[in-house]
Structure 1
């Protein structure tokens, strides 16, 4: 019997790529999404990303539901009306800068929404969870690369990172309270790129908060130039350094986690980094994008953004040891696939 996975936030950028991976590996998938980071076109029953996912997978979702994790009754009904084996939890607000301006919304959505989900899971005796966490839980680190044994939460520079850390604290306490729980917290870095088909990719609904979609929107002519937030960091070229990970490597990491969490070996709370282990500066990303795609990216260096840190990159050895997972695609692949998606879909998932 195929396992049934509930995927929260499954119509968003990371969620949709993971849903495709799960469908292609014979899992039954139920998706719930509140459409904050997704596009649902007129007269369509599902977000456009999921319509394309079904086409690429040549397989239907078990079910799609529009709703919000802040609505406890809505979540209770999902678990009451469906058999669910495992939950993969992506649903979250995710902009560092926005979280500084709107902390209450971030704590309500990311922390309270997750607690509602966990309450429904406990009531229905569903005790296996893969949590989409973030490298921001490490804060502004004194040691690089980042390993899972480093302290978290102590130097978080923004409410987004603190909200992810708070959820991890809740999950650890939940696992301590009952030996039945199996939780994997995947701490990943900056997902970029798109599916090899170019049919699904990153489609921010407002001004992009992340580097790569901003670069591709400049490349396609949607925006006149790229703003680089800060050119005075203590890095070789003065711009911030991050560990970028190809979205298909990331979705494969979630698949490996799913395969592992179904075994009885995985009880308790397990944090695992998913990253390449290599940092790239903003200017390196721009340079690689230009050489991969033959497109010039005009840019301007502006003031630093509140909440940003100088450098973040992963030690991903544990993912290799525990999940048999390693990132296989480099920055050239990330840039080429991101441009394939954007040039094929200049307006993202919208058609006009």
Structure 2
């Protein structure tokens, strides 16, 4: 987001992170184009929204041709990421084909800077800490497709001098509009429906969406031809510490016990049968598996480059609380 010359194009602008990014880019004075298969609803003042499916070739006309309007930076946030939730092939159709089409668009329009959001899923779940030099070992189609997409973006960068690529591997990102893991956790805590699944010490790497955007700025300002980094708070937070932070920040009730892991998996199976006939509850054995598997991630590259975090878990949750009148939506 550094600087305001030229046009910033955001693929996946209608999503959670995308909407925050669009608003920040407009505030910085950029000309902004949002390209997404979903409408930008509600609209964001100052953003030109275009319907775009990254699985298909992207027309050059996405950005209006006029002096000074050439794209100066592209953000590729477009992805299918909900797991479970899609057939395996759909992750590759969107995430890999999308990478090919977005980099072709950048090639055709001589875009000099590209920021791509990958995922910590490329590492696979592990109790051992993972950092940028750790060998990727994805276990899901989502993680595998993101790793392939990284290679496609890196190939674009290496083709010609002057191209700059940033690859971000975010952990769980929370904040207004997330509607994901942290939102579901807050709702379950408020309704006294959350019990620790099998253990209390599962590590869950995370960070606030505003902090993620700050790292975009920081990485772009480094001016390096290639920079890859993990995004999450530098301190490990267990699921118990996350629940305790919600309790301190918003008074949400603490979990009232721990359920055996095997029992939770068994109890989830009928809900999967309901999903097959169109009754979606969000309860699935794979989601329970994710709750008991640690994502222990180190943002070593950011630390090594001198980045200083402006929030931590508790202040990030407080910021989210204040922005949503305590509803955590």
Q: Quickly name the TM-score band, shorter chain normalised.
A: 0.7 to 0.9
Hey, what's the Cα distance between the residues in 2 that align with 1:110 and 1:127? 21
- Of 314, 317, 331, 2:297 maps to 314
Q: Deviations over 1:87-138 (max 9, x none)?
A: 011111122323xx52111111111112111112112222421111111112
Report the 3-state secondary structure (helix = DSSP H, G, I; strand = E; otherwise coil) of the residue aligned with 2:62: helix
Map of 2:177 onto structure 1: 202
Q: Deviations over 1:211-249 (max 9, x none)?
A: x1102334666xx72475x425xxxx35x3111111111
Map of 1:273 onto structure 2: 230
- Of 61, 64, 68, 2:53 maps to 68
Q: TM-score, normalised by structure 1?
A: 0.74
Hey, what's the Cα distance between the residues in 1 that align with 2:81 and 2:312? 24
1:127 to 1:107, Cα distance in 2 relative to 1, 3 A? same
Q: Structure 2, unaligned stretches of length 5 or more?
A: 266-284
Map of 2:17 onto structure 1: 14
Does residue 305 (structure 1) correspond to residue 272 (structure 2)? The answer is: no
Q: State the 1:80 CA deviation.
A: 6.8
Does residue 330 (structure 1) correspond to residue 324 (structure 2)? The answer is: no
Map of 1:24 onto structure 2: 27
Q: State the 1:148 CA deviation.
A: 1.4
Q: State the 1:159 CA deviation.
A: 1.1
1:2 to 1:180, Cα distance in 2 relative to 1, 3 A? closer
RMSD of the alignment, in Å? 2.8
Segments of 4+ moved more than 6 angstroms? none
- Of 80, 84, 87, 1:102 maps to 87
Map of 2:213 onto structure 1: 251
Larger relative contact order, structure 1 or 2 (CA cutoff 8 Å, min sep 6): 1
8 A contact 1:21–1:252 mirrored in 2:
no
- Of 204, 214, 227, 2:184 maps to 214
Counterparts of residues 133-282 of structure 1 (less than 5 Å): 133-141=118-126, 143-144=128-129, 146-152=130-136, 155-193=137-175, 201-204=176-179, 208=180, 210=181, 212-218=182-188, 225-226=193-194, 230-232=197-199, 237-238=200-201, 240-260=202-222, 263=223, 266-267=224-225, 269-282=226-239
Report the 3-state secondary structure (helix = DSSP H, G, I; strand = E; otherwise coil) of the residue aligned with 1:85: strand
Q: TM-score, normalised by structure 2?
A: 0.79
Q: State the 1:344 CA deviation.
A: 6.2
Map of 1:197 onto structure 2: none
1:305 to 1:78, Cα distance in 2 relative to 1, 3 A? same
Hey, what's the Cα distance between the residues in 1 that align with 2:152 and 2:253? 46
Q: Deviations over 1:124-164 (max 9, x none)?
A: 222421111111112234742x2212222xx2121111111
Report the 3-state secondary structure (helix = DSSP H, G, I; strand = E; otherwise coil) of the residue aligned with 1:106: helix
Map of 2:275 onto structure 1: none
Q: Structure 1, unaligned stretches of length 5 or more?
A: 41-45, 55-59, 194-200
Q: How many residues align?
A: 297
